[in-house]
Structure 1
């Protein structure tokens, strides 16, 4: 493999806000790490899911290069986000409220490495055995964090971060995962002229989901109002390219299909990318961490290039 050449890199916080508390006035926001190659194809913003952090995109649990490096090699200037209260955007209960329980072998995120739900193809791409003796699963759980406790607050944080980041770096492609999908929906809502394309990986849904743990997605794909919708009097997305990506072994495909149909009604130019249809088999919910993450990234780069 050719040496990796980085022309520019750094870190910054965006979407900064103040919080007054017993200790005084504090500042919080969205941490962003960036790297750019000598010749830039496009800006690409990577947004992690659920209780994850930027590490979901920076590496894999078995130590291989993550999507941030792979897409950098593909010519993108890569901006990798830590959503507020997660990763290098530190959590404090005075700002975000009570913290939830830690990630565990018995919890939801451990199922990312587990066998497929009944009736689905065999999950073969996780880079380990997926059980208590799996060092890859242990690494993955070690960097997971408590899931955001307040859906409305988490979506407002993503809205502020998306707007501020796009205002700072300009037109970009966004790639979001799972619960981080709202970062992309708010970008489409607030800065559609700065979104060149959006890739939604196994995104939270279906539209108008009322989940006993996550909460209620009252406005279709979000818990906060957006500028677009499926109704005749709603704003439309004007043909912005959106790829809704699903894995064959996670159980998310029906929800992703419903989300794709909803986005079409909202005026997006939607492609449904089912990995199995592209000849990529055995993937679960966290495809960016799995054994074939290079091949999956190549599929996404090809789609981005064709739609921007």
Structure 2
């Protein structure tokens, strides 16, 4: 990761039409986007889409204070856009607009799956997990970042589809880097964005065709609901990235088989095959996160036909 200089940075709320209900007017479905534009920028940006009850800050800094993935992509010359999905991060959850939310998760639910898989041994690969930061407060900081999430996968999908047009007006041509439950949102965004989406890196994405999940069944390929957009999400270069010690291994393999059968540019990246073993689900937070980011940048350089690596002094404008 080398030094870089910024031409611009900032953020904006994406806002839907106000909603009239209960005799009052409320903001419609909204999201927040933060951007960082390097001085010598490439002609395609990177859009980070967080998962579950998380938020975009996961890509800015690790729980133990190291530079996050955003810095690696900025160092490589990519304009970076970081999304707080509707009701997450800087966007308050309003049940009148977004519908009900799940109860906030506690330590007992998230620690065995994200922070201490080897200690709790809930799945076969969990014993291999050894990449969580040693900082004793890293787990507490992770927990502090976790907020509400929709009660159905279909609702989460509809929420991001509602702000997609405004989002792509900001990002311009972009590469979606999604994570976990942000994976289905990423496919749905690509269906809305069409040619504006140059590629997709799905990091430990949730779901495979027919998967029955507590929040809904995957009845539309890798999504729970029909797309609001008309483009095929898989007609551009796509990669799925899986960690060695994650519970997502089987689901990711099934999703990879689904995409591969469509005959497009695709790679299923198993990190341990690239010398990056012992990782759990939060790849952007673990101690080898910078090396993983370098691998992702390298995949983009190799698979986007040189388009992403051309210098361009006119950055994407916020």
Q: Normalization by structure 2: what TM-score? A: 0.86
Q: Look up the SS of the partner of 2:46 in the other structure.
A: strand
Cα pair distance change 1:285/1:26, threshold 3 Å? same
Residue 231 of structure 1 is matched in structure 2 by none
Matched, 1:244 2:240: yes
Residue 288 of structure 1, CA deviation: 0.3
The aligned length equals 298
**1:117-159 CA distances to partner (integer Å, 9 max, x unpaired)?**
4432521111038xxxx41111100110123223222110122
Q: Considering only aligned residues, what root-mean-square deviation do their CA atoms show, in Å? A: 2.3
Query: Are 1:61 and 1:139, in contact at CA under 8 Å, matched by a contact in 2?
Result: yes
**How far does the alpha carbon of each residue in 1:232-275 deviate from its partner, in whole angstroms, 9 at most, with x for none?**
xx985674100100000012122111111111234432101110
- Measured after TM superposition, the shift of residue 281 of structure 1 is 0.9
- The equivalent of 2:124 in structure 1 is 119
Whether the 8 Å CA contact 1:128–1:137 is kept in 2: the answer is no
Partners of 1:236 and 1:267 within 8 A in 2 = no
Determine the structure 1 residue equivalent to 2:315: none
Query: After superposition, where does 1:100-119 map in structure 2 within 5 Å?
Result: 100-108=102-110, 111-116=113-118, 117=121, 118-119=123-124
2:106 and 2:134 map into 1 onto residues whose CA distance is 17
**Is the CA contact 2:32–2:90 (under 8 Å) kept in the aligned structure 1?**
yes
Q: Residues 194, 204 of structure 1: CA spacing in aligned structure 2 closer, same or farther, 3 A cutoff?
A: same
In the alignment, the residues of structure 2 paired with residue 16 and residue 85 of structure 1 have an alpha-carbon distance, to the nearest angstrom, of 13
- Cα shift at 1:203: 0.2
Provide structure 1 residue ranges, at least 5 long, that are not aligned to the other structure. 229-233
In structure 2, C-alpha distance between the alignment counterparts of 1:275 and 1:238, rounded to whole Å: 22
Query: Is contact 2:204-2:243 (8 Å) kept?
Result: yes
Within 1, Cα distance between the matches of 2:235 and 2:2?
37
Q: CA deviation at 1:163?
A: 3.6
Any idea what SS the aligned residue of 1:198 has?
Answer: strand
Q: Contact 1:49 / 1:180 at 8 angstroms: preserved in 2? A: yes
Unaligned runs of 5+ in 2: 305-318
Query: Cα offset for 1:109?
Result: 5.9
1:12 aligned partner: 12
1:31-56 Cα deviation digits (max 9, x unpaired): 10000111112300001000000111
What secondary structure does 1:55 align onto?
helix
Q: Which structure's relative contact order is higher, taking Cα pairs within 8 Å and 6+ residues apart?
A: 2
Within 5 A, what are the aligned runs for 1:1-308? Answer: 3-14=3-14, 16-22=16-22, 23-41=24-42, 42-108=44-110, 111-116=113-118, 117=121, 118-120=123-125, 122-128=128-134, 134-212=136-214, 214-226=215-227, 239-308=235-304
Q: Is the 8 A contact 2:198 2:236 kept in 1?
A: yes
For the residue of structure 1 that corresponds to 2:107, the secondary structure is coil
Find the aligned partners of 2:231 and 2:16 in 1 and give their Cα distance: 29
Relative distance call for 1:140 and 1:30 in structure 2 (3 A) is same
Rounded Cα–Cα distance in structure 1 between residues aligned with 2:19 and 2:228 = 28
The DSSP-based 3-state class of the residue aligned with 2:159 is helix
